[in-house]
Structure 1
Amino acid sequence: MKISKISSLLLLLTGLLAGNRLEAEVFRFQYVSGAKFRAVAQVDETVIQRYGRQQAVQQSELRYKIAYTIKDVRGETGELEGVFQIANRSTGDAGVYQWSEEHPTAYRRNAYGEMDVPDRYSFPVVRGVPRFPERDVAPGETWVGVGEEVHDFRDSGSGLGVVRFPINVAYQYLGLEEYKDKMFHAIDATYQVYHRFPVSRGLAPEQISGFSAQHLYWDNEKGYLAAYTEEFELVMQLNDGTSWIFRGTASAEVIQAEKMEKEKVAEEIRNSLEKDKVEDSEVRVDEQGITIALHNIRFLPDSSRFVPGEEEKIRAVAEILKRYPDRDVLITGHTALAGTESGRERLSLERARVTARALIELGARREDQIVIRGMGAREPVAGNDTEAGRRLNRRVEITLLEN
C-alpha cells in the first residue's frame, strides 16, 4: 500500500515536471523589413544632489518617444534606424510635456538580442536587454546574459566622451501573465551597476553604481518586447565630493505603427481648413508626418494670450485632430525676428503651450499625446525685413506624427 502511494506520487511529480517542460519556450527576436514601431516610456524620478550635509531634491517626469524602422533583415539579424525624443515636465505640473532632446540611432540586433551599435551613437543607453539563451526555457528557470550601459559625457567638459561598460543581467522566466487584456510571457531582468571612471581633468564623475529591476512582457508570437516596468537607482559620485542620485520607476509600451496615407490625409485636412475658412493656413507633408501651419496666429502684444476670435482657428484644428485620434501631436511655436533671442525662445514656447492647452480643453488630445517646443526665430519661412514676411514667421505648427 505504501509502495503504491509512493509510486502514485512519483508519477504525479513526473507528470508535473513533464508538463513544465512542455511549457518551455524558445525566445527569439523576429524582424520584418519595413516594419515601423514606436515605444513610449514614462519615467518618474527623484533627483537628489548631495554635497556634505546639504542636499537639493527635485521631482521630474520624463517622457521618451522612440520611433524606429526595421530597414533591412539579413538572416536572423535586423538593421534598425530610429530616433529618441525626450520631453519633460516637473512633477505636479498640470502642463504638457516640453521637448528637450533628440538623439538619432542605428544598430544591428540578432535573434538572441545581441546588439552592435556604432560608437557615434549614445542611444539606446541600455543595450542587449533582453538577451536570450540558445536553449529553451521553462517557467521558473533562470539564465544570465551580458548587456551594456552607455553614458554620454561629451558635453560635460571632463574629456570622458561616451563611456560604455558591461552589465551582467540575471533573468528568470515566470510564465504567462496578463497585460492590458492580453497574455504575454513574463520575464524578470535584474542587474547591478558599478563602474569606476579614469582620472579626468576638471569636474568629472569618479564612479557610478546602482541597480535596475525590470519586469518584461514578451510577445513570442511576433518576437518583440511589448512592454516593461522598472525600478531603478543610479548614484554618480563626482571628484569634487558631490553625489547625484537618480531614483524612480519607469514603464514603456511598444506599438506597431500603422502606415499613414500622408498625401490623402493632407488633402482631407486642406479641404477642412478651406471649408472652415481658416485663413493664413498651410498643410505640408514631411518626414515626421503632416504639419498644419497657422501663419500670423495672433496673440496680444508680447503675450501668449490669443487675440479674441483666434480661438476659432484652434477649434477648427481640434475637430480635424479628432478624426485621427491614434497619432501623437507635436506643437512648435515660432516668432518673427524681434526682441532678444531668449525672449523669442520663451515667447514661442509659451505660445505653443497655450495652443496645446486649448487643444486639450477641446478634447482633441490628452496631455500625454502632445509635446511642445519653442523655436524662437531660428526657422523663418520668409524674410523678416517686411511686414508680410514677419506675418508668415509668426506661426504655430501642429504636426500629426506618423510614428
Structure 2
Amino acid sequence: MLLCFVIFLTLEGSTPVPSGKTTFQWKWKENQVLELNEYHDVFFRVGAKTVEREDKNRVVMKPKKCSSDSCLVNAWFDTYIRYGKTSGPFWKDKEFTSDFTLFQNGRYEVPNEFIMPNLRSFPSFPDTPVSVSDVWKLPAEESFDFNSERIRVKVIPEYTFQGIFPWSDGNYKGNCEKITYTYPIFYTKPEGEKMVPNVPYKIFGFASGTVFFNAARGVPEFKEVKLSYTFIYPNGTVQEANFHIKGIYFLRNQVNTKDKEAIREDILDDLIVGNTGDPNGSRLGDLTKDTNKEKEPNEKNLGRITDTGEKPSPEKDSLLDKLPISVRTSDDGIVFSLDSILFDFNDSKLKPDAETAVAKIAEILKKYPDREIRVSGHTDNIGKKEYNRKLSEDRAKSVLHSLVDNHKMDEKHISFKGYADELPIVPNDSEENRHKNRRVEITLVLD
C-alpha cells in the first residue's frame, strides 16, 4: 500500500475579502514548481509481529495548462525506504508520474490510470472567507492500491481555522495561517462482491493533522499528520498501520535546459579551480529571484563561467580529462559520474584516492542544501545479475556513507540504489565500453 499526501496550488483569485476574514485560495504561476518533501514514521502490526519503517516521499508538481477555474498538473513521485527507527541511508524504492486536474476550490480529479496521489481533494477550502475558529466540511477521498485491487474510500474532513502561528522543523521555520482537521475512515466491501486474497474487505481508522498555509502567498509551508488504520483480510488476518507524517514545501521557479547547462558550467569551474564564489550561494539560488534582471558584474563572478553561452576553454577540457569524474545534465538535473577505478576489482570499498574526488563533489553539493541527492551504482553485463546488483548497491552505499560520514551532508536528502547493468550509458560491446558502464553516479536533482 502506498501513501503519499500532497497539497497543491490553484489559480490566483481577486475577490475582495471582508475585514477580519481570510480567503484561502491557491495561487499559481506557470513558471513555478511546488516540491513537497515528506517523512513518515511507520509502524505495522500483524498479531505479535511488528515492523518499523521510515519512508521519504519527494513530490514535484508543475502546471501543464490552466483555464479560468482549473489547472492540469503534471507530477512526479519518488518514494524511499529505510527500516528500523535508526539513522542511515534511504533506499530508493519506486517512481510514479501522474496527470490530474486541480480545481480552484482545491478539488482535483485523478484519471483511473494513475494511482498517485492517493489522498485526493484535500485540503479543500470554502468559497467564502473564514474567520478564526470557523469550521467547514468538504468531501475528499483516500485511494488504497493493493496488488490486485484498488479501494477508494470517501471521507469528510472537518477543518478548523486556528489563526496565525509559528511552525518549525529542523532548520526550517515559518509563521502563517494554521488549519487543523480530523476525519474518520470506514470501508466495508459491498455485499455480493468477490473477496480477493491479500486485499482487505474492511478498513477503518482515524486521521488528525495540521496544515500551515500561507494565505498571502497562496501556498502551503508545512504539515503534520497522524493516521491510524486497521485492515481486516478475508483469511482473518488483522493488520494495524500507523503513520506520523511531516512535510515541508518548497516553491521555486522551473529549471530549464539553459539553466541546467549554466549550473553545469559553474560546477566544472569548481571541480577544477575550487569554489571562488559565495560559499552560501549558487546559480540555482539565483533562479528564485527575478530572472529578467541583469546581473551586475562583481568580484565574486570574475573569471567564472556565466550564463552567456560561454564554453569551457581547451585548457579546462584537458584538466577535466585528468579527473576520474565526468559531469553531464540529465532530465533530473546534474549527474556526476565516478569512474570505476575508484574501487578495486569486485570490491565496494572506496580507494584512498577516491576520497579526493568525493570531497570535491561534496563541497559543490553543499551549495544546494535543500536539493535531493541520489547515489546510484552501475555495472557492466558480465557476471550474474544478483551479484552485480549487490555490488552496484554496495558501491553506491560506500559513496553515500563518505558524503554523510566524512563530509557531514544531511542523510535525509540522500538516497541510494544499485541498478546492476540496467542503465548502461554505452553498449556493453567492448572492454572500453564496459569500463564506462562500471560507475557510480551522484545526481543533484534540479527537477
Question: 2:24 maps to what in 1?
Answer: 27
Question: 2:229 maps to what in 1?
Answer: 234
Question: 1:269 maps to what in 2?
Answer: 267
Question: 2:176 maps to what in 1?
Answer: 184
1:112 to partner: Cα distance: 1.1
1:119 to partner: Cα distance: 0.9
2:366 to 308, 322, 325: 322
User: Deviation above 4 Å: which 4+ runs of structure 1?
Assistant: 274-278
Q: Are 1:212 and 1:233, in contact at CA under 8 Å, matched by a contact in 2?
A: yes
Q: How many residues are matched?
A: 374
SS in 2 for 1:113: coil
SS in 2 for 1:290: strand
Asked whether 1:243 is paired with 2:263, we answer no
Structure 2 matches for 1:230-309, cutoff 5 A? 230-260=225-255, 261-274=259-272, 279-309=323-353
Q: Are 2:65 and 2:72, in contact at CA under 8 Å, matched by a contact in 1?
A: yes
Query: Structure 1: any 5+ residue segments left out of the alignment?
Result: 1-20
State TM-score, norm by structure 1. Answer: 0.88
Q: Are 1:273 and 1:281, in contact at CA under 8 Å, matched by a contact in 2?
A: no
Distance 1:196 1:305 in 2: 52
Higher strand proportion, which one?
1
Q: Are 1:148 and 1:165, in contact at CA under 8 Å, matched by a contact in 2?
A: yes
1:201 to partner: Cα distance: 4.0
Distance 1:218 1:308 in 2: 48
Greater Cα radius of gyration, structure 1 or 2: 1
Distance 1:207 1:294 in 2: 50
Q: Give the direction of change, closer, same or farther, for the CA distance of 1:81–1:213 in structure 2 (3 Å limit).
A: same
Structure 1 stretch 314-323 or stretch 57-66: which is displaced more? Answer: 314-323
Question: 1:39 maps to what in 2?
Answer: 36
1:63 to partner: Cα distance: 0.5
Question: 1:380 maps to what in 2?
Answer: 424
Structure 1 stretch 238-247 or stretch 195-204: which is displaced more? Answer: 195-204
Q: Are 1:322 and 1:364, in contact at CA under 8 Å, matched by a contact in 2?
A: no
Structure 2 matches for 1:71-220, cutoff 5 A? 71-153=64-146, 156=147, 158=148, 160=149, 162-180=150-168, 181-197=173-189, 198-220=193-215
* Cα deviation digits, residues 203-229 of structure 1 (max 9, x gap): 432111111101111111122222110
* Cα deviation digits, residues 188-212 of structure 1 (max 9, x gap): 1111111123423444321111111
Q: Give the direction of change, closer, same or farther, for the CA distance of 1:339–1:348 in structure 2 (3 Å limit).
A: same
Instruction: Give the superposed CA RMSD.
Output: 1.9
Asked whether 1:310 is paired with 2:354, we answer yes
Question: 2:285 maps to what in 1?
Answer: none
Query: Structure 2: any 5+ residue segments left out of the alignment?
Result: 1-17, 274-318
1:65 to 47, 58, 65: 58
Q: Give the direction of change, closer, same or farther, for the CA distance of 1:343–1:257 in structure 2 (3 Å limit).
A: farther
Q: Are 2:373 and 2:442, in contact at CA under 8 Å, matched by a contact in 1?
A: yes
Q: Give the direction of change, closer, same or farther, for the CA distance of 1:240–1:84 in structure 2 (3 Å limit).
A: same
Identity fraction in percent: 23
Question: 2:311 maps to what in 1?
Answer: none
* Cα deviation digits, residues 104-142 of structure 1 (max 9, x gap): 111111221111111111111101111111222111121
Distance 1:331 1:241 in 2: 42
State TM-score, norm by structure 2. Answer: 0.79
Asked whether 1:369 is paired with 2:413, we answer yes
